[in-house]
């Protein structure tokens, strides 16, 4: 790893620009009442990091319990609460907002050449709704938690538990609106606020990915909302829509719940895929192979993603014909994801590859998401799903795509855009170490779980047959390593805020509009409104710009 | 400095509104009358058909969609399409349960 | 520190503020702003379509499963009241559309009148809804609150069932009427909640309209609220036949 593309200004004379979005105004209120999409992104970044570590602590408790075959660390009811809250926090308070609310908020306006999102006040409202939802989840945890699993499966959640289903439901309902408003804002912005010359097919693929995810947010989340409303009515008044004794069908809840929650997984992964497109292009110095295919595949994932939800319900009592149809459709939805992997791979082919930290995470993503995605095909095939569902195979599958995939993409993006957001570089060596530690820790944690699942260990159980212990111990050991890998960035990124090298405008020599302005950016993003006159990922254009700049400096100096 | 392009070009006037209003009232009366007549399987079809027509009138004229951009029309279509997908695909499970095992 | 001249010559922002007060600075002009907020409103309405969509899905499933129970249960609803309510709501849509026209043509007093009429019609709708609901409460047709099957087991004891000529239902079928009423209250309740919110906003708009806020060329708020109000009307256009007119023959 000797080559690097990092191009920093002369550190002895470089300074953080005096006028930027961070220095513009001071004081708590200027942050809490801001309309600046960049400040809101930072607010989100801090909040989701906080909730990530709460979810992570809960994961630690799960892995601790599973060190031994007996349910001896905590009561089984408590264990149920722990994995439920882990799911709720990680999905609704971390994964769903992760890239969109931080990197999306920060960079979509900049990437399209706009001054802000279309609806800044709605953006701020989004954050407040997120915080209220998050606080409600914390209150729920403190007042006894909920133990139904994050999926609130009926009739367990309606008739057989007396834990805080309602408050968790309310928290998710509110957080859902946060998500809806973010997606709505993005769609309007991308349609209506592109700079002159910024046609749809000159947009960075990061923007396409967020556009697709936003469609899912806007159209899918309301169905979750109504599912929660009906769940609440069922629990409180006992209206009977999900109660077999009154003629209702518990599966109806599951249909409505999964109608959102399947697209939700695409809401979570698509923005990460957008990050990977940017990072792989930059660190192989090549335009993304098959731009149009990648752009359209993002939208295809969004569209097809709406038609496969019942593959989460194969064993729940849906009709055999429904199983057949949904299984076939699930095969279809894998195709656009695979197209992306092919295109990223071909982007790398004959590129000038360097291994800075964002690229390490991107490589991790490509490998681990491929494994996770392929195991999804086993689960989408109804025959094998009957054996594998509700086992650790499922747990491993979704952790591979979400943690090995999405979380790595998030870290990749944070590192990639850290210099732009803060004006400072993170320390490269320790961050590369953290990336490798994360990759190793991840595989140790979750690969054994595929084996456990195939051997039949059920999920959501605090105890298991003793012959599964060795693999569980491996998994917990891996989780410890993984924890270190996640802790390191918090430490060195915070360190870099004061001591990191000054980054300058474009340390990666990347082609996006956001890299053609100062780091950290001005509040209004650009001093003069850009006009887009070149294609996306146009490294020749960048080279020309650099030559023009050098001539200017030479002629002045 | 003009307002939204649509308004500069297409201000929908009271005449159209009155006509649509009358049609909506007529539709309401018709659908009430039809529910008292036994038309077998046609009853729900007619009821939904009248409701859809009334809704279409409201969307096209009261909500100005007839004069709106392609984007607005596409947006509405996307929402309707997904709503229909939700209803039909969920219903397909329920209806096919009665068909038995294979 | 100025921008990298890598960006091709851009349009220099005018430092002077020669634009309407209501133009937000991240937009180029009022056209873009109005366009964007109109599109945003439509997207919000899409979320409402999917929200109510879940309820309609539930309704269609259970109507399919429990048709006889749904028929009998629907006979408990009053067509005169429901029909009159439909009339009120359609008229309020008409007055709202006229209100938007008044705003577009800068007719301030016309706008205020139309908004007030819409407001009153909306209140009227809610008033009749309240009457209908209290009737249900009296007859113990509210699921979860001492729900009573008497009207369906013994239709002669109930005026509405008798008038519709209902036959007594077997016990297991009669039980399913509770599902009908669950959906009735969920759907009309959710609809009424949206109307209450709309009426609240209408109240606010009447004040602002009297001050001339919407007749100076900036009609976005009225226009977008109009979209919301028409949408709520459309929901009722479907609720009325589905809940009240299942089968009256």
| Per-residue confidence band for C160, with pLDDT thresholds at 50, 70 and 90 | confident
The answer on pLDDT for B3 being more than 90 is no
Inside any domain, residue C236: yes
Q: pLDDT value at position A135?
A: 98
Task: Report chain C's mean pLDDT, rounded to a whole number.
Answer: 90
Q: Tell me if chain C has a CB within 8 Å of the CB of B11.
A: yes
Question: How close does chain A come to B82, measured CA to CA in Å?
Answer: 8
Q: Choose, out of C94, C99, C215, the residue to mutate when testing the contact with B (most B CBs < 10 Å).
A: C94
Q: Confirm if B27 and B15 have CB atoms less than 8 A apart.
A: no
Q: Give the fold, CATH level 3, of A28-556.
A: Cytochrome C Oxidase; Chain A (1.20.210)
Q: Do B86 and C45 touch (CB under 8 A)?
A: no
User: What confidence tens digit (pLDDT) does each residue in A328-386 have?
Assistant: 999 999 999 999 999 999 999 999 999 999 999 999 999 999 999 999 999 999 999 99
Domain limits, chain A: 28-556
Q: Do B90 and A259 touch (CB under 8 A)?
A: yes
The answer on pLDDT for B8 being more than 80 is no
Distances (CA, A) of C240 to A476, B38, C79, C125, C186: 58, 18, 9, 13, 14
**Nearest by CB: A259 against B86, B97, B101:** B86
Residues of A in contact with B86 (CB under 8 A): 223, 259
Q: pLDDT value at position A353?
A: 95
- Section C214-231 average pLDDT: 93
What is the Cα–Cα distance from A507 to A498, expressed in whole angstroms?
A: 18
Q: Do A239 and C182 touch (CB under 8 A)?
A: yes
The answer on pLDDT for C4 being more than 50 is no
pTM: 0.94
Phi, psi torsion values for C180, nearest 5 degrees: -55, -45
**Nearest by CB: A192 against C39, C61, C144:** C39
Instruction: Give the residue, A146 or C217, on which the prediction is more confident.
Output: A146
Inside any domain, residue C193: yes
Q: Do A238 and C39 touch (CB under 8 A)?
A: no
Q: Tell me if chain A has a CB within 8 Å of the CB of B92.
A: yes
Q: Do A322 and B92 touch (CB under 8 A)?
A: yes
Q: Do A306 and B85 touch (CB under 8 A)?
A: yes
Inside any domain, residue C181: yes
The answer on pLDDT for A1 being more than 50 is no
Q: Do A319 and B99 touch (CB under 8 A)?
A: yes
Q: pLDDT value at position A550?
A: 86
Q: Choose, out of B28, B62, B97, the residue to mutate when testing the contact with C (most C CBs < 10 Å).
A: B62
Q: Do B86 and A322 touch (CB under 8 A)?
A: no
- Section A468-480 average pLDDT: 97
User: What confidence tens digit (pLDDT) does each residue in A242-260 have?
Assistant: 999 889 999 999 999 999 9
3-state SS string over chain C?
Answer: CCCCCCCCCCECCCCCCCCCCCCCCCCCCHHHHHHHHHHHHHHHHHHHHHHHHHHHHHHHHHHHHCHHHHHHHHCCCCHHHHHHHHHHHHHHHHHHHHHHHHHHCCCHHHHHHHHHHHHHHHHHHHHHHHHHHHHHHHCCCCCCCCCCCHHHHCHHHCHHHHHCCCCCCCHHHHHCHHHHHHHHHHHHHHHHHHHHHHHHHHHHHHHHHHCCCCCCCCCHHHHHHHHHHHHHHHHHHHHHHHHHCCCCC
Q: pLDDT value at position B40?
A: 86
Q: Tell me if chain A has a CB within 8 Å of the CB of B93.
A: yes
**Nearest by CB: C36 against A192, A196, A246:** A192
Q: Do B82 and A306 touch (CB under 8 A)?
A: yes
Share of chain A above pLDDT 70, in %: 99
- Find the closest chain A residue to B86 by CA distance: A259
- Find the closest chain A residue to B99 by CA distance: A319
The answer on pLDDT for A544 being more than 50 is yes
Residues of B in contact with A223 (CB under 8 A): 86
Share of chain A above pLDDT 90, in %: 91
Q: pLDDT value at position A28?
A: 94
Inside any domain, residue C151: no
| Positive or negative: CA dihedral C230, C234, C235, C239 | positive
Q: Tell me if chain C has a CB within 8 Å of the CB of B41.
A: no
Q: pLDDT value at position C216?
A: 84
Question: How close does chain A come to B7, measured CA to CA in Å?
Answer: 18
Instruction: Return the number of CB contacts < 8 Å for A and B.
Output: 37
Q: pLDDT value at position B9?
A: 57
Q: Tell me if chain A has a CB within 8 Å of the CB of B97.
A: yes
Given a contact as 3+ CB pairs under 8 Å, which chains touch B? Answer: A, C
Give me the CATH number covering residue C220: 1.20.120.80
C8: left (phi over 0), alpha (psi -120 to 50) or beta: beta
What is the Cα–Cα distance from A466 to C6, expressed in whole angstroms?
A: 65
- Find the closest chain B residue to A317 by CA distance: B97
- Find the closest chain A residue to C13 by CA distance: A528
Determine which helix (DSSP H) or strand (DSSP E) holds B44, and give its type and residue range. Answer: helix B42-57
Q: Tell me if chain B has a CB within 8 Å of the CB of C246.
A: yes
Q: Do A218 and C46 touch (CB under 8 A)?
A: yes
Q: Choose, out of C92, C237, C242, C248, the residue to mutate when testing the contact with B (most B CBs < 10 Å).
A: C237
The answer on pLDDT for C7 being more than 60 is no
Q: Choose, out of C9, C23, C50, C70, the residue to mutate when testing the contact with A (most A CBs < 10 Å).
A: C50
Q: Do A319 and B79 touch (CB under 8 A)?
A: no
**ipTM for the whole complex:** 0.94
Q: Do A319 and B82 touch (CB under 8 A)?
A: no
Q: pLDDT value at position A557?
A: 55
- Section A269-298 average pLDDT: 96
What is the Cα–Cα distance from A134 to A156, expressed in whole angstroms?
A: 24
Q: Tell me if chain B has a CB within 8 Å of the CB of A522.
A: no
- Find the closest chain B residue to A310 by CA distance: B90
Domains in chain C: how many in total? 1
Question: How close does chain B come to A204, measured CA to CA in Å?
Answer: 21
Question: How close does chain B come to A319, measured CA to CA in Å?
Answer: 5
Angle among Cα B4, B9, B10 to the nearest 5 degrees reads 95
Inside any domain, residue C62: yes
Q: pLDDT value at position C18?
A: 65
Q: Confirm if A138 and A167 have CB atoms less than 8 A apart.
A: no
Q: Do C40 and A17 touch (CB under 8 A)?
A: no
What is the Cα–Cα distance from C134 to A86, expressed in whole angstroms?
A: 44
Domain limits, chain B: 1-68, 69-102
Residues of B in contact with A259 (CB under 8 A): 86, 90
User: What confidence tens digit (pLDDT) does each residue in A80-137 have?
Assistant: 999 999 999 999 999 999 999 999 999 999 999 999 999 999 999 999 999 999 999 9
């Amino acid at each position: 790893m000797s080559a690097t593309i990092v191009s920093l200004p002369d550190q002895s004379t470089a300074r953080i620009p005096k006028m930027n979005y961070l220095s513009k105004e001071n004081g708590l209120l200027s942050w809490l009442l801001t309309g600046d999409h960049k400040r809101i992104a930072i607010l989100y970044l801090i909040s989701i990091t906080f909730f990530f570590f709460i979810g992570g602590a809960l994961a630690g408790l799960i892995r601790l319990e599973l060190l031994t075959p007996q349910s001896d660390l905590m009561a089984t009811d408590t264990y149920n609460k722990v994995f439920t809250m882990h799911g709720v926090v990680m999905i609704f308070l971390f994964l769903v907002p992760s890239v969109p609310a931080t990197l999306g908020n920060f960079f979509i306006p900049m990437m399209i050449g706009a001054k802000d999102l279309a609806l800044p006040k709605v953006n701020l409202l989004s954050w407040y709704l997120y915080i209220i939802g998050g606080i409600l989840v914390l209150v729920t945890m403190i007042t006894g938690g909920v133990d139904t699993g994050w999926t609130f499966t009926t009739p367990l959640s309606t008739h057989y538990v007396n834990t805080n289903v309602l408050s968790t439901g309310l928290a998710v309902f509110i957080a859902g609106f946060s998500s809806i408003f973010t997606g709505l804002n993005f769609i309007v912005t991308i349609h209506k606020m592109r700079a002159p010359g910024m046609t749809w097919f000159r947009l960075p693929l990061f923007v396409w990915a967020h556009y697709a995810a936003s469609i899912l947010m806007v159209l899918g989340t309301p169905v979750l909302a109504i599912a929660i409303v009906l769940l609440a009515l069922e629990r409180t008044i006992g209206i009977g829509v999900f109660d077999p004794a009154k003629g209702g069908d518990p599966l109806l809840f599951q249909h409505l719940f999964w109608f959102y929650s399947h697209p939700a997984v695409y809401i979570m992964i698509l923005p990460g895929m957008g990050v990977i497109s940017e990072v792989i292009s930059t660190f192989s110095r090549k335009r993304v192979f098959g731009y149009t295919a990648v752009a359209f595949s993002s939208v295809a994932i969004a569209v097809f993603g709406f038609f496969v939800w019942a593959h989460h319900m194969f064993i729940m009592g849906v009709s055999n014909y429904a199983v057949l149809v949904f299984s076939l459709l699930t095969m279809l939805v894998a195709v656009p994801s695979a197209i992306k992997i092919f295109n990223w791979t071909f982007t790398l082919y004959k590129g000038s590859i360097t291994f800075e930290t964002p690229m390490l995470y991107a490589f991790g993503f490509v490998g681990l998401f491929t494994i996770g995605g392929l195991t999804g095909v086993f689960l989408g095939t109804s025959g094998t799903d009957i054996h594998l569902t509700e086992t650790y195979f499922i747990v491993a599958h979704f952790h591979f795509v979400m943690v090995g995939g999405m979380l790595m993409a998030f870290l990749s993006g944070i590192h990639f855009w850290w210099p732009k957001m803060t004006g400072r570089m993170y320390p490269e060596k320790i961050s590369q170490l953290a990336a490798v530690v994360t990759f190793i820790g991840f595989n140790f944690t979750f690969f054994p779980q595929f084996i456990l699942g195939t051997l039949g260990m059920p999920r959501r159980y605090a105890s298991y047959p003793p012959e599964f212990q060795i693999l569980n111990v491996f998994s917990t050991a891996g989780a410890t390593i993984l924890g270190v890998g996640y802790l390191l960035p918090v430490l060195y990124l915070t360190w870099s805020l004061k001591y990191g090298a000054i980054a300058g405008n474009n340390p990666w020599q990347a082609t996006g509009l956001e890299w053609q302005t100062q780091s950290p950016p001005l509040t209004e993003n650009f001093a003069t409104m850009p006009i887009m006159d070149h294609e996306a990922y146009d490294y020749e254009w960048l080279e020309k710009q650099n030559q023009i700049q050098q001539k200017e400096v030479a002629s002045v100096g | 400095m003009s307002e939204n392009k649509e308004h500069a070009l297409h201000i929908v006037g009271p005449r159209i509104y009155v006509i649509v209003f009358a049609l909506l009232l007529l539709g309401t009366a018709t659908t009430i009358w039809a529910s008292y007549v036994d038309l077998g399987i046609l009853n729900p079809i007619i009821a939904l058909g009248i409701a859809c027509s009334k809704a279409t009138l409201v969307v096209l004229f009261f909500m100005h969609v007839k004069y709106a951009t392609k984007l607005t029309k596409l947006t509405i279509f996307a929402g309707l399409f997904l709503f229909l997908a939700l209803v039909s695909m969920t219903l397909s499970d329920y209806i096919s349960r009665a068909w038995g095992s294979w | 520190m100025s921008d990298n001249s890598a960006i091709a010559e851009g349009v220099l922002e005018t430092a002077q503020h020669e634009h309407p007060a209501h133009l937000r600075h991240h937009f180029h002009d009022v056209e873009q702003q109005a366009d964007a907020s109109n599109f945003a409103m439509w997207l919000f309405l899409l979320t409402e379509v999917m929200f109510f969509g879940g309820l309609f899905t539930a309704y269609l499933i259970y109507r399919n499963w429990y048709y006889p129970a749904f028929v009998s249960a629907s006979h408990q609803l009053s067509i005169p009241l429901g029909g009159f309510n439909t009339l009120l709501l359609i008229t309020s849509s008409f007055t709202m559309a006229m209100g938007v026209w008044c705003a577009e043509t800068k007719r301030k007093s016309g706008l205020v009148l139309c908004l007030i009429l819409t407001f009153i019609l909306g209140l009227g709708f809610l008033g009749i809804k309240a009457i209908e609901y209290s009737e249900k409460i009296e007859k113990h047709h509210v699921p979860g609150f001492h729900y009573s099957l008497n009207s369906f087991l013994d239709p002669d004891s109930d005026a509405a069932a008798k008038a519709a000529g209902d036959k007594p239902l077997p016990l297991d079928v009669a039980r399913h009427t509770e599902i009908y009423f669950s959906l009735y209250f969920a759907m009309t309740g959710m609809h009424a909640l949206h109307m209450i919110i709309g009426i609240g906003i209408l109240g606010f708009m009447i004040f602002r309209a009297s001050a001339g806020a919407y007749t100076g060329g900036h009609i976005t708020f009225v226009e977008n609220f109009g979209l919301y109000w028409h949408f709520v009307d459309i929901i009722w256009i479907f609720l009325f036949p589905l809940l009240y007119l299942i089968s009256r023959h």
